[in-house]
Structure 1
Amino acid sequence: MSELQRRPTLMDVADAAGVSRALVSIVMRGAPGAAESTRQKVLQAANELGYRADSRARLLRSSRTKLLGLAFSSSQPFHAEIVDAAYAEASAKGYEITLSAVANGRPEARAIETLLDVGAEALIIIAPTLGPDDLALHARRVPVVSLLRDDVGQAVDSVSSDDRAGIALAVDHLVTLGHRRIVHVDGGTAVSSENRREAYRAEMIRRGLTPLVVPGGAGEEDGMEAGRTLQADLPTAVIAFNDRSALGIMECFKAAGISIPEDVSVIGYDDSHFAKLSYVQLTSVSQDAPLLAAAAVGRAVDRIEGVKSPGSVVGTPHLVIRKTTARAPEGNSDT
């Protein structure tokens, strides 16, 4: 490594300021014992050299890291919205967030181990795929908060949204608009897919309507494939597993000359930033990412700071109505 590339050290700052390394250390730690004139001289030298304290060394010296480890899927935009909100909430509570992504070739178990290796005092896992027993093993080391999934056993905290209530809001909205032929495109093997699928079936049956579930998934391509299936017997309304799936369905319909919402109404789930785009304006069930993030961070911090028993927080979703839903087409509302 060249001299230009070498990271400045405490000794470099000491030499530049003409003081001892110990005195530089006192100034950098904000500890008493240095005169104000000396402190200013050291800080000026550090600034000119581009010196930054090595946070890793500080963490190794400390019994507390004040780090919350957050594992998320790099392929899910809604997870990124939760991450953004979690940073602000953690900072307000005096903690930092360290991230570890679940991606192709990088399983959830590896993402979690990385967070533990850097000293995370608690784990927040968005939509974990590990089973309750595996999560419980991690919970023996640090508090674990499952976000967006509640069937995680008694050893783990959970923060989730009421999927049954969310689907009920979507069905109610469509029925109010005169729709009866309402299809659900499910999320395949994705977390929450089974909950939403069963909630849809129960809600349709409760209203005397016939449920029809079309296999789908969590991505746009899954939605497009489901959209091609739906064209063979077009419903008047579709409730998609999430916003990404809804976008794929809409693209497929538009390519086939099917108008939204004139021919078919479409509802997504998550109210992600995609739903809010001016050229999309997707009606969607909102899980409220900031509130979910705040609750998860709150549970993690509470557990770190003394709350002994894991708990469960269930948020109430709400429907955000935009431009992809309208009254059922004439002559189709009761068929």
Structure 2
Amino acid sequence: MADVAAKAGVSRALVSIVFRDQPGASQETRERVLRVADEIGYRPDNAARLLARGRSRTLGVMFTVHQTFHSDLIAGIYPEAERLGYDVLLSAATESRGEGKAVEALLSHRCEAVILLGSDAEADYLDELAHRTVAVSVSRRVPQAHVDFVHSAEGKGVRQAMEHLVELGHRRILHIDGGRGPGSAERRRAYRAAMRRHGLESEARVLPGDHTEQSGIETGELLLSERERGLPLPTAVLAGNDRCAWGLLMSLTRAGVDVPRHMSVVGYDDSHLSHLMPIGLTTVRQDAALMAEHAVRFAVERLEGEGVEPREAVLEPKLVVRGTSGPVPEA
């Protein structure tokens, strides 16, 4: 600002008035100051200005690389944060960079709050984090932690998927578990409850897995090896999430198993890639945009309102039927 003032022939205080768009400078002076600033490439440092006031107005977002649903959530976080006057800073968790390190990076950059997408942290860590900053957990509910939660009604989503498969005549319905992935425990419980409700408890089977394509590939290879030993394939599979479902589809397609004629496959998330595949994936939609809006609002309202108690937003899921589910194969 001193450089702009010297070249424009005015005081630094007057330059500050112009940049803050405050009264006290003539139109001619304003135009001259702005022209000089443009000529020398000056840009106001908004971050420094906010920090000088004790605020960064920045929300940190921790996400996991390769989780496509997290991309959908981030796409919804930006516009809502901007609407409320906040910036967004991202920090990724990877195989070599844990969630804790990703969160600490956000705090070191003076983020006022952190939004955790699909956190797998223990309750003690989340509770400790909540005492240090404002925290919102998206897609995973940990009641013991003093943070806000935003998630879909996992059980309802699974019930919709199971009703769909049972109505199509399926009985041998297998579930690929999501391991420690967000929502996995609720989805597993809902699957078992649905099998009991439809009198299919003896057919229930849960295979261990996680929320990755590799998990689906390995499940497909296991089922195909069982077929070679004379065991029947399940007629339908409810995958832990869309990525797992894509991996399963890859294994089945390579082996010549026709989906859905020989086996139906259902995912969970309805991430943006689900409808771009050669055969659209039947899946349970989580409203990423609405989840993102709730997460940002929870963070901002807590930042701007002292003493706000932890809240929970539970959003309605919706089954989206596409090309990977069909009637049970004829015997």
Q: TM-score range by the shorter chain?
A: over 0.9
Q: Distance in 2 between matches of 1:44 and 1:162?
A: 55
Q: Is the 8 A contact 2:126 2:145 kept in 1?
A: no
User: Which residue of structure 2 aligns with residue 27 of structure 1?
Assistant: 18
User: Which residue of structure 2 aligns with residue 66 of structure 1?
Assistant: 57
Q: Distance in 2 between matches of 1:200 and 1:284?
A: 14
Alignment of 1:284-295 (within 5 A): 284-295=283-294
Q: CA deviation at 1:303?
A: 1.3
User: Which residue of structure 1 aligns with residue 178 of structure 2?
Assistant: 187
Q: 1:88 aligns with which of 79, 96, 100?
A: 79
User: Which residue of structure 2 aligns with residue 269 of structure 1?
Assistant: 268
Alignment of 1:1-335 (within 5 A): 10-209=1-200, 210-231=203-224, 232=226, 233-306=232-305, 308-331=308-331
User: Deviation per CA, 1:29-86, whole angstroms, max 9, x where unpaired?
Assistant: 2232221111111111222322211233113201222222211112211111101101
Q: Is the 8 A contact 1:146 1:157 kept in 2?
A: yes
Q: Is the 8 A contact 1:78 1:270 kept in 2?
A: yes
User: Deviation per CA, 1:265-291, whole angstroms, max 9, x where unpaired?
Assistant: 111110001111052310110011001
TM-score, normalised on structure 1? Answer: 0.91
In the alignment, residue 217 of structure 2 is paired with which amino acid? M
Q: Is the 8 A contact 2:252 2:258 kept in 1?
A: yes
SS in 1 for 2:136: strand
Aligned length: 322
Q: Distance in 2 between matches of 1:292 and 1:213?
A: 28
Q: 110-119 vs 228-237, which deviates more?
A: 110-119
Q: Is the 8 A contact 1:274 1:280 kept in 2?
A: no
Q: CA deviation at 1:152?
A: 4.2
Q: CA deviation at 1:117?
A: 2.2
User: Which residue of structure 2 aligns with residue 3 of structure 1?
Assistant: none
User: Deviation per CA, 1:233-257, whole angstroms, max 9, x where unpaired?
Assistant: 3111111111111111011101000
SS in 2 for 1:52: coil
User: Deviation per CA, 1:291-313, whole angstroms, max 9, x where unpaired?
Assistant: 11111112112212215211111
Q: Is the 8 A contact 2:124 2:145 kept in 1?
A: no
Q: Distance in 2 between matches of 1:100 and 1:58?
A: 23
Aligned Cα RMSD in Å?
1.6
In the alignment, residue 321 of structure 2 is paired with which amino acid? I
Q: 144-153 vs 166-175, which deviates more?
A: 144-153
Q: 56-65 vs 169-178, which deviates more?
A: 56-65
Identical-pair percentage: 46
User: Which residue of structure 2 aligns with residue 4 of structure 1?
Assistant: none
Q: CA deviation at 1:154?
A: 4.7
Q: 194-203 vs 262-271, which deviates more?
A: 194-203
SS in 2 for 1:97: strand
Q: Distance in 2 between matches of 1:179 and 1:101?
A: 40
Q: Distance in 2 between matches of 1:285 and 1:220?
A: 17
Q: Distance in 1 between matches of 2:26 and 2:109?
A: 36
Q: Is the 8 A contact 1:135 1:152 kept in 2?
A: no
SS in 1 for 2:188: helix
Q: Is the 8 A contact 1:131 1:152 kept in 2?
A: no
Q: 318-327 vs 60-69, which deviates more?
A: 60-69
Q: 260-269 vs 113-122, which deviates more?
A: 113-122
SS in 2 for 1:47: helix
In the alignment, residue 293 of structure 2 is paired with which amino acid? A
SS in 2 for 1:98: strand
TM-score, normalised on structure 2? Answer: 0.92
In the alignment, residue 44 of structure 1 is paired with which amino acid? R
Q: Is the 8 A contact 1:160 1:292 kept in 2?
A: yes
